[in-house]
Amino acid sequence: MKILITGGLGFIGSHTAVELQKEGFDVVIIDDLSNSSEKVLEGITAITGKKPIFEKMDLRDKKSVEDFFGKHNDITGVIHFAASKAVGESVENPLLYYENNISALVYLLQQLQKKEKAQFIFSSSCTVYGQAEKMPITEDAPVQQAMSPYGNTKQIGEEIISDVAKVSGINAILLRYFNPVGAHESVEIGELPLGVPQNLIPFITQTAIGLREQLSVFGDDYPTPDGTAIRDYIHVVDLAKAHVTALKRLIDSKNTDKVEVFNLGTGKGNSVLEVVKAFEKVSGKPLNYKIVGRREGDITEAYADTTKANDVLGWKAELTLEDALASAWKWEQKIRS
Ligand code: WQD
């Protein structure tokens, strides 16, 4: 079965392409290469021995999307990763986010709603919960007023999908990721942040390899045991496997609703300082960091209640934070060698 992965040369998309191919799916990747490189195709192929079909495309071009589905009219399964995803940038340039993240989604759904039956997996984010009241966070925690245009595009995207699924043959699963980290054990693929990394783990590995002078820890005055903010860091390979499990659930019509939601995390929270200490342990290198003020828009704490993902979806994270940090470090050393 041929599956379309939009943004399939990106961090999570490329790892998902590998897991789909391992499960025997044929993979077609669309990517606009705005935040990835065609070299990632070689990495995927090196791992699985199968080169995905790749089409460079801007999903904001409605005609291109129509032509694509005309050519690949046997595609009914789509995993949609393609989106702009930098929280800070979205505040500076909201219309880039609303155009890229919403119009592309609409054009894809317009094609899928023509099909008798279609499977749509949407890359969403725990950011929709804002600062949740209760930990761990369950799927019925209230979706709160978005803290950024990026987060808002995820909320709006979920609503659009729900509305369309009600009146079409589209069956959808919304996957709300916590914090994706790490790299494939082969280090043929991994995270390739452009410019100065926004996220914690790539900033840590770039500091350790000497690309960055020092890690700034954004705030140690949070109401947490060591004062630094807590997140649920999930290995990207575990996350990728969850996408295959979700897709199979829809293909096998095991879903109990037209749209289902799952939180994807490990269920364990770690503070920034705990991550720093764990990195020093796995890398054997002391990390140069300093405590600075909080980052605008950051929440104190977020970690997943994994009950629904474990018991209903039938997926459970297996890799640890240390596994993720070790693979991220191995990847950083490889790409800088
Ligand atoms: C993690 C923790 C920072 C960098 C965001 C998006 C989310 C998803 C993942 C896209 C926080 C601290 C970070 C640094 C630091 N993105 N930190 N120094 O903000 O939890 O989530 O990225 O899908 O939707 O909201 O991830 O890695 O930026 O930060 O102290 O240089 O590390 O304050 O506590 P975040 P992050």
**Res 142 pLDDT > 90:** yes
**Res 81 pLDDT > 90:** yes
Domains belonging to the chain, first-starting first, are 2-181+234-265 (3.40.50.720)
Pocket of ligand 1 (CB under 6 A): 85, 87, 125, 127, 179, 198-200, 203, 215-218, 229, 231, 272, 295, 298
As a whole number, mean pLDDT of residues 238-254 equals 98
Pairing mode of beta strands 26-31, 53-56? parallel
Instruction: Give me the amino acid identity at 5.
Output: I
**Res 88 pLDDT > 90:** no
Interval between CA 125 and ligand 1 midpoint (Å) = 12
pTM for this model (two decimals): 0.97
Is the bond leading into 142 cis (omega within 30 degrees of zero)? no
User: Is 232 within 8 Å of 132 (Cβ atoms)?
Assistant: no
The overall average pLDDT reported for the chain is: 97
pLDDT of residue 194: 87
Residue 98: pLDDT band with limits 50, 70, 90: very high
Question: Candidates 87, 224, 274: which one to mutate for ligand 1, based on the most atoms within 8 Å of Cβ?
Answer: 87
As a whole number, mean pLDDT of residues 291-317 equals 97
**Res 147 pLDDT > 90:** no
- 320 CA to centre of own chain: 17
As a whole number, mean pLDDT of residues 256-277 equals 98
Ligand 1 atom nearest to 85, measured from its CA: 10
pLDDT of residue 235: 98
pLDDT of residue 261: 98
Interval between CA 229 and ligand 1 midpoint (Å) = 9
Question: Candidates 137, 179, 217, 220: which one to mutate for ligand 1, based on the most atoms within 8 Å of Cβ?
Answer: 179
Token digits for 327? 């693979």
Interval between CA 284 and ligand 1 midpoint (Å) = 24
Residues labelled as active-site residues: 150
Tens of pLDDT, residues 174-229:
999 999 999 999 999 999 988 999 999 999 999 999 999 999 999 999 999 999 99
Ligand 1 atom nearest to 230, measured from its CA: 34
pLDDT of residue 175: 98
Beta-strand (E) ranges in the chain?
Answer: 2-6, 26-31, 53-56, 77-80, 118-125, 170-177, 179-181, 215-218, 230-231, 233-235, 259-264, 270-271, 289-292
Ligand 1 atom nearest to 275, measured from its CA: 32
Interval between CA 199 and ligand 1 midpoint (Å) = 5
